[in-house]
Structures are given as C-alpha cells and as structure tokens.
Amino acid sequence: MQVSKYEDRIVGAQFSFDGALYLTSRKDALNGKVLRLPLATPTLDKATLLIPEGKNALDGLVPSSTRLYVREQVGGPSQLHAYALDGKDLGVMATPPISTVGTMVRLAGDDLLGRHQQLP
C-alpha cells in the first residue's frame, strides 16, 4: 500500500509498538517535522503533526514503548532528543560535548542502544 508520494516529502519512516508509523517529513519544514500515522488508517491525510519543525535538523528517529528518540543535527555535532509518544518534549539526552550520535537501535521497553563519537 502506498502511503505517500514524492511531493509529500516523506524522507523517513519507523514502525512503532503503539500501532503507528512515525514519519519524518520535509514538506514545508526544511529542518523536518515528525508525523504520526495510525496503521489502522494508513493514508497520509490521517497523519497528525507530533513534533513541529524546530531550529535543529531532524536526522533520524527511533520509537520505543513510550518514547520517540530523535537525532538532531546541531551544526556539525548532533544530539539525541527524547519525546513522549504524544509529542511531549522530554529533553535532550546527556552526551559528551561536541559529539555525534550515530546508529540507534531499539531494544526492549524504552532502552536504546546508540553509538556516539566525541569529536576532537
């Protein structure tokens, strides 16, 4: 089933345990925004805006049981931002200064395995 077309500017998608597909969209949002699409009604007109465009560019997301982890590009370095599945901002995760967040893998519950590298 086709969910979007090129002009919708969907650049990423992740299935979640809560019966939804989380989409990264660049339509009218150069830095990206996150949409939540219920799998029960998988047409883009049923998607809701979960995280609006911010000052940092979205560069990946991983949903867990109750959270959505979003990698954000902050100039050269990146950071990991946590949100509740209803879009509530839970804050930026602690990482070493001037570092980069790499691969993110969802584990059980809200656990996330991530790779980061501190820049010289």
- The answer to whether residue 120 scores a pLDDT higher than 80 is no
Region 35-41: mean pLDDT is: 96
70 found inside a domain:
yes
69 found inside a domain:
yes
Question: Domains in the chain: how many in total?
Answer: 1
21 found inside a domain:
yes
14 found inside a domain:
yes
What is the average pLDDT score of the chain?
91
Q: What is the CATH number of the domain that holds 71?
A: 2.120.10.60
1 found inside a domain:
no
pLDDT for the residue 11: 96
50 found inside a domain:
yes
Instruction: Give the tens place of pLDDT for each residue, 94-115.
Output: 888 888 888 888 888 888 777 8
Instruction: Give the tens place of pLDDT for each residue, 43-88.
Output: 999 999 999 999 999 999 999 999 999 999 998 889 999 999 999 9
Please state whether beta strands 78-84 and 48-51 pair in parallel, antiparallel, or not at all (unpaired): unpaired
Long-range contacts of 84-90 (CB under 8 A, 24+ apart): 85/16, 85/18, 85/20, 85/36, 86/50, 87/34, 87/50, 87/51
Entry pTM: 0.90
64 found inside a domain:
yes
Instruction: Note down the domain range covering 93.
Output: 6-118
